[in-house]
Structure 1
Amino acid sequence: MECSVAKAETWIGRATALALARCGAKVVAVTRTQADLSSLVQECASISPVCVDLADWGATEVALRDIGPIDLLVNNAACASLQPFLEVTPDQFNHSFDVNVKAVLHVSQIVARGMKARGSGGSIVNLSSQASQCALRDHAVYCATKGALDMLTKVMALELGPYQIRVNSVNPTVVMTEMGRLGWSEPEKAKTITSRIPLGRFAEVEDVVNSILFLLSDKSNMTNGVTLPVDGGFLAC
């Protein structure tokens, strides 16, 4: 089994890569940060590293040209540049969409063409967010990218389904990565969100990884075009 993990600058991509390697997958980890790849390979030598900025269409095309057959793809690369709606600049808008939406489309095209040619099907999981369906102050562009990603996921599921390629997204609430803890450790700030989550807490990295593994696995063979909340019930209420 082959798997490509498009890794963001968070611990979700790293944890997913390691979990898939433990499951026996041959993992190709992709990120723009060589230091992250080096430490990942030190932790798990079987992982194949690819260093490229996924926002660069041409460089991505070259970097992924010869990565071999891929059966499973996790699109996790993302960025968040937060500012009030009235202060959004064209550069911030374009960069966010280049990474959060355009790169997902591009990497998925590269991988899905191979899946279609082999006729063996496959599974693609896109990392979205509860922000795709719930407005958050200062998150105008981020929310817009995740809303676009959810619809991209659905169209991919529609068009790739006939080739037995399933496409789904995972939509977490705030996740307690290192960045999440820095941003949401202040109790009063955290309470603005956790008070609206029936389970009363944010997600841990393993909560997200377990959902990704489910959607990649044969256990979800009839799950396609789904946006799966990992949010403790936030969007349900």
Structure 2
Amino acid sequence: MSLSYSFKGKRVLVTGGGQGIGRQLVQRFHDDGAVVLTLDKNAEAIEQLQKELPKVSAVTVDLTDWEATKKVIESFGGVDHVVNNAVVLIMQPLMEVTKETASLHFDVSVLACINVVQTAAKGMIERGSGGSIVNISSIAAKRASPLTSMYAATKSALEMLTKSMSLELGAHNIRVNCIAPGLVAEITAPDTPPAESDPDMDAAIEKILARTSIKRAIDPNEVADLVMFLLSPLSAMITGESVMIDGGFAANY
């Protein structure tokens, strides 16, 4: 098989597809001819997405609402591939973490992922068609840093959840992997709120870049390339893995 694969006609579900990496993934799958289905709680982002890509099925839903999310995914019909991309990142010192912020991190990054995978995989199993799933983790699951305790904890949980999913779903020819990006370029863009208003984020970005071997942020398209590879038959025997894309950050002790 050559190192190329088309998702034309495949049904791909992307959570958090209204902005950031999710929006780039929606664009890439759309351009490749896939039937793209996406969820995001940001109504303005979904409205803009529908204007720009009217063929994409985009729905506003809060992933922390278990039943509402399940109903939307069921309404989409069959799904071949899933990307769990939705995320919460609230930077807080450990001693300032509240039950509410801790719960929100786990509700979006872990519990919502369980719900999405259960709902999508149920159809895959019933149809006997198999499928593939990629969960978006983070380098924060591998290396601790200040102010990100809850974010890192949920990403670590997501990586073990990925392994468990791969074990239980493998018998149905459903592969589950996750990727762990380092610093992605969208986070450093000058017109994004974190870069404008959060000095803690600025300091964290500087520390990350200082430790990377390749001295730049990761382009969202490079993240999309890895996601598409892991969803495709080109990675047919890869499952239960967490693949880092970090420019050499984790290699620098």
- Bin the TM-score by the shorter chain: over 0.9
Q: Which residue of 1 aligns with 2:68?
A: 59
Alignment of 1:22-41 (within 5 A): 22-41=31-50
Question: Quick one: which amino acid aligns to residue 180 of structure 2?
Answer: N
Q: Which residue of 2 aligns with 1:194?
A: 209
The percent of aligned pairs where both chains have the same amino acid is 38
Q: Which residue of 2 aligns with 1:115?
A: 124
Distance (whole Å) between structure 1 residues aligned to residue 230 and residue 79 of structure 2: 16
What is the TM-score when the length of structure 2 is the normalising length? 0.88
Report the CA distance between 1:8 and its aligned residue.
5.6
Structure 1 residues 73 and 58: alpha-carbon distance in aligned structure 2, compared to 1, 3 A threshold: same
Report the CA distance between 1:69 and its aligned residue.
0.4
Q: Which residue of 2 aligns with 1:171?
A: 180
Structure 1 residues 188 and 130: alpha-carbon distance in aligned structure 2, compared to 1, 3 A threshold: closer
- Pick from 121, 145, 148: which aligns with 1:139? 148
Moved more, 116-125 or 38-47: 38-47
Alignment of 1:216-231 (within 5 A): 216-231=231-246
Structure 1 residues 189 and 68: alpha-carbon distance in aligned structure 2, compared to 1, 3 A threshold: closer
SS in 2 for 1:66: helix
Report the CA distance between 1:193 and its aligned residue.
1.3
Specify every segment of 5 or more residues in structure 1 that has no aligned partner in the other structure, as ranges: none
SS in 1 for 2:76: coil
Q: How big is each residue's C-alpha offset from its partner over 1:149-177, in whole Å with a ceiling of 9 and x where there is no partner?
A: 00001111111111110101111111111
| Contact 1:130 1:173 survives alignment (8 Å) | yes
| Contact 1:168 1:224 survives alignment (8 Å) | yes
Q: Which residue of 1 aligns with 2:136?
A: 127
Distance (whole Å) between structure 1 residues aligned to residue 67 and residue 203 of structure 2: 44
- Pick from 1, 12, 15: which aligns with 1:6? 15
What is the TM-score when the length of structure 1 is the normalising length? 0.94
Specify every segment of 5 or more residues in structure 2 that has no aligned partner in the other structure, as ranges: 1-9
Distance (whole Å) between structure 1 residues aligned to residue 71 and residue 211 of structure 2: 45
Report the CA distance between 1:194 and its aligned residue.
1.4
Q: How big is each residue's C-alpha offset from its partner over 1:8-66, in whole Å with a ceiling of 9 and x where there is no partner?
A: 66411011011001111100111112221121122222101111100111221222222
Moved more, 213-222 or 1-10: 1-10
- Pick from 151, 168, 180: which aligns with 2:188? 180
Question: Quick one: which amino acid aligns to residue 32 of structure 2?
Answer: C
SS in 1 for 2:189: helix
Structure 1 residues 188 and 38: alpha-carbon distance in aligned structure 2, compared to 1, 3 A threshold: closer
Distance (whole Å) between structure 2 residues aligned to residue 155 and residue 124 of structure 1: 13
| Contact 2:18 2:46 survives alignment (8 Å) | no
